[in-house]
């Protein structure tokens, strides 16, 4: 229980610290660009027009809503983090208890390294999926609270009232908008990360004192690589969570009404926007949309 409580506290602290970053990221993912491009230089030193980065975007939010405005949607996100940590921990604990029971009744030989990786990854997949499934309604509310910034709405003003609003307008399925691509992305990312780390540790790195630290870093490197590859699932999931929910950010000109997450994926792919919001620095102007500064310019 002490370990679980410390994990919840640590997760809550990280959630609070990362809230402004996620807030900006979500607004960029939706396609909200209130600031015009500026002339800058890319990583090769060439002059190009770039969209404002994280700090300029956050400064705009503070100018409109004050510093507290950077923490919209924090309450449901904290609930999601705490509940998800508890569920994840309890599921893994059940697996550990079951394994101890099996070891106590049989003299089973330890499996191979690959077998162990497959077993641990499968358990982690179940634990993460259970946590995601249970906390997804809070995730949907978090995203919609953030997207309200675009149209200056107050439809989702509180966590409890948001539950009532979603249930009244969309039914039970409304709480699970965008769940399928989110689950798929999490599962693919987990398996890619763990299997790549296993291959690197087993075949690419030699055994030795100098390689021990390298093996400990391989998990982090492969995790970053896997998250980059599966980012489109995150983007599609977040867009589907706010799509056609009655908020300006889920309607044209920001997003058409998608019939399914596959339709959303197809549209983003045609526009070349599958990585929109993945980077908050050195941002090129995305294609296929009209933005707020365009509307102002033509008025």
For 153, counting Cβ atoms within 10 Å of its Cβ (0-12 exposed, 13-18 middle, 19+ buried), the class is middle
- How many CA atoms does the CB half-sphere of 191 hold within 13 Å? 10
Give the β-pairing of 38-41 and 47-50: antiparallel
Could you tell me the sign of the dihedral formed by the alpha carbons of 89, 93, 94, 95, in that order?
positive
Question: What's the pLDDT at 279?
Answer: 87
**pLDDT at residue 86 is higher than 80:** yes
Distance CA 235, CA 25 (A): 10
Kindly list the structural domains of the chain, giving each domain's residue range(s) and its CATH number in brackets, ordered by start.
Answer: 1-102+113-271 (1.50.40.10)
Distance CA 121, CA 112 (A): 14
- 154-184 pLDDT, tens digit per residue, is 999 889 999 999 999 999 999 999 999 999 9
Q: Where are the alpha helices (DSSP H) in 152-260?
A: 159-170, 179-199, 209-229, 231-242
- 240-273 pLDDT, tens digit per residue, is 999 999 999 998 878 889 999 999 999 999 988 8
Distance CA 168, CA 46 (A): 52
More confident residue, 80 or 158: 80
- 101-160 pLDDT, tens digit per residue, is 776 665 555 445 888 999 999 999 999 999 999 999 999 999 999 999 999 999 998 899
Distance CA 91, CA 34 (A): 43
């Amino acid at each position: 229980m002490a370990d679980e409580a410390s994990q919840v506290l640590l997760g809550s602290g990280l959630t609070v610290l990362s809230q402004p970053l996620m807030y900006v990221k979500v607004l960029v993912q939706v396609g909200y660009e209130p600031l015009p491009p500026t002339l800058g230089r890319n990583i090769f030193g060439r002059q190009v027009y770039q969209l404002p980065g994280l700090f300029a975007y956050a400064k705009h939010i503070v100018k409109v809503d004050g510093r507290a405005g950077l923490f919209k949607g924090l309450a449901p996100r904290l609930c999601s983090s705490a509940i998800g940590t508890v569920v994840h921990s309890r599921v893994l604990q059940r697996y550990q208890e079951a394994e101890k029971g099996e070891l106590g009744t049989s003299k089973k030989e330890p499996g191979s390294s690959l077998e162990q990786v497959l077993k641990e990854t499968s358990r982690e997949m179940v634990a993460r999926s259970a946590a995601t499934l249970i906390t997804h309604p809070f995730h949907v509310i978090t995203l919609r609270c953030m997207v309200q910034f675009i149209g200056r709405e107050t439809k989702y003003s509180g966590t409890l009232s948001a539950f009532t609003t979603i249930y009244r307008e969309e039914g039970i399925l409304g709480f699970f908008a965008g769940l399928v691509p989110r689950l798929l992305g999490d599962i693919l990312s987990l398996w890619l990360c763990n299997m790549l780390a296993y291959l690197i540790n087993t075949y690419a790195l030699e055994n030795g004192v100098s390689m021990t630290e390298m093996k400990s870093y391989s998990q982090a490197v492969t995790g970053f690589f896997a998250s980059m590859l599966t980012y489109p699932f995150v983007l599609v999931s977040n867009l589907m969570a706010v799509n056609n929910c009655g908020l300006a950010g889920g309607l044209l000109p920001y997003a058409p009404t998608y019939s399914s997450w596959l339709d959303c994926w197809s549209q983003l792919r045609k526009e070349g926007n599958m990585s929109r919001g993945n980077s908050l620095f050195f941002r090129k102007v995305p294609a296929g949309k009209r933005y707020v500064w365009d509307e102002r310019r033509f008025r």
